């Protein structure tokens, strides 16, 4: 069994609107880019894990092979809400660590430009207040408007408000300042869907989506893809010095779901499974939060970023407000968070996001992030969460070669 796992090549498309291109076109660009980045070819891949929610049952991986090479390898089509890309990466990682293959490809792709607000539920709704036993969900009435909400902006608004209730210090302005930080970061990221700086006043006075999140504080639905090539350590040793130098070590790859809690049977709990994933990832990597040089976390909404400071243990429990107020999470701070601009600016083509977050961290560890480079970055963490719920955490380390 191989204990060493490396990212040999990784690539993401520009996120945004691509009306002239379909899902397979975007996935092919990312996959070919990752192969070229790693200096390898499709015939060397032993497995592909392909993530896409829009084509969850249509075999996007098999369709992708028709454009980049059909070699007869196993293809796993995965769908795991916003953690789909991280799940594809985890599938590829497990195949390598089991010793089944030497190389594996993970791809995430989505076309969501113009899709509107996601997460309305996906189950038939009724205005009838009368309880009816009907299928798996017949034991409870629809939640929306009765017990909080099931729409994503509302869910994460509630999560942010709950954090403020428990620990204090939050305000509409505080959450808006988190968004201001991320939009400022995005101006240095040429692959972000939006590269525009917003003033605090612009953010606070934009369209209110779900208090305390206005439109600039919400992740942007868009088109995009990302792909990664993974390799085991023994194979990496046979490759060129340049390939070894640019390889990024995956020191932890963790996927969690909710443990049973009474509350999570009614409303999503993004906290417990994220904290559980972070604890295991730090243990697997043999590091602590203080060792991180940068973090890409799942800021689907500004309120989510604050809460995940705490869930990822970037601060003491209850100390997320103080961490942000200290300036630590800015690009020039001691714990830079979402230097890419985050989902609020970079965009959120759901299945691509988990790998795109890994791409951002890996690019800094390679010293290839250009104007937004975190100097001397050696260790980074990428995090995503999909309600349902699933959480992926990957810890990456710079090559010592």
Provide the annotated active-site residues.
82, 348
Q: Residue 388 region, left (φ>0) first, then alpha (ψ -120 to 50), else beta?
A: left
Find out whether the peptide bond into 389 is cis, omega within 30 degrees of 0. Answer: yes
Q: Give the DSSP letter of residue 75.
A: E
CB atoms within 10 A of CB 145: 10
Distance CA 40, CA 31 (A): 11
Q: Buried (b) or exposed (e) across 339-373, using 16+ Cβ within 10 A? A: bbbbbbbbbbbbbbbbbbbbbbbbbbbbeebeebb
Distance CA 74, CA 178 (A): 42
Distance CA 357, CA 246 (A): 18
Q: CA quadruple 139, 156, 359, 238: dihedral positive or negative? A: negative
Distance CA 191, CA 196 (A): 12
Residues 6+ apart with CB under 8 A from 159: 270, 271, 303, 304, 307
Q: Buried (b) or exposed (e) across 289-326, using 16+ Cβ within 10 A? A: eeebbbbbbbbbbbbbbbbbbbbbbbbeeebbbebbee
Distance CA 101, CA 94 (A): 10
């Amino acid at each position: 069994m191989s204990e060493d796992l490396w990212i040999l090549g990784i690539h993401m498309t520009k996120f945004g609107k691509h009306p002239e291109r379909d899902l397979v076109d975007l996935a092919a660009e990312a996959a070919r880019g990752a192969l070229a980045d790693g200096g390898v070819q499709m015939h060397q891949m032993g497995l592909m894990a392909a993530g896409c929610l829009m084509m969850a049952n249509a075999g996007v991986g098999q369709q992708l092979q028709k454009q980049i090479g059909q070699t007869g390898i196993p293809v796993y089509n995965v769908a795991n809400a916003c953690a789909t890309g991280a799940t594809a990466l985890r599938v590829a990682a497990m195949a390598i660590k089991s010793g089944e293959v030497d190389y594996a490809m993970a791809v995430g792709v989505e076309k969501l430009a113009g899709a509107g607000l996601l997460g309305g539920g996906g189950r038939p709704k009724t205005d009838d207040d009368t309880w009816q036993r009907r299928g798996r969900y017949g034991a409870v009435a629809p939640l929306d408007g009765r017990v909080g909400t099931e729409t994503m902006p509302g869910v994460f608004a509630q999560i942010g408000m709950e954090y403020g209730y428990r620990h204090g210090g939050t305000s509409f302005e505080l959450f808006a300042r988190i968004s201001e930080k991320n939009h400022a970061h995005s101006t240095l990221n040429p692959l972000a869907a939006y590269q525009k700086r917003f003033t605090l006043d612009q953010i606070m006075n934009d369209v209110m989506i779900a208090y305390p999140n206005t439109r600039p504080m919400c992740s942007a639905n868009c088109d995009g893809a990302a792909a990664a090539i993974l390799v085991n350590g023994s194979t990496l040793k046979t490759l060129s010095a340049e390939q070894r130098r640019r390889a990024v070590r995956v020191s932890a790859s963790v996927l969690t779901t909710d443990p049973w809690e009474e509350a999570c049977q009614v409303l999503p709990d993004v906290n417990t499974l994220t904290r559980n994933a972070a604890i295991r990832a730090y243990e697997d990597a043999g590091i602590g939060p203080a060792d991180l040089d940068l973090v890409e976390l799942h800021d689907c909404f500004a309120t989510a970023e604050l809460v995940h400071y705490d869930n990822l243990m970037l601060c003491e429990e209850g100390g997320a407000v103080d961490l942000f107020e200290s300036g630590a999470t800015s690009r020039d701070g001691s714990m830079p968070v979402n230097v890419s601009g985050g989902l609020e600016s970079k965009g959120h083509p759901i299945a691509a996001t988990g790998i795109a977050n890994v791409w951002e961290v890996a690019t800094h560890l390679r010293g290839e992030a250009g104007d937004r480079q975190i100097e001397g970055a050696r260790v980074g963490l990428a995090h995503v969460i999909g309600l349902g719920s699933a959480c992926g955490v990957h810890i990456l380390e710079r090559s010592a070669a």
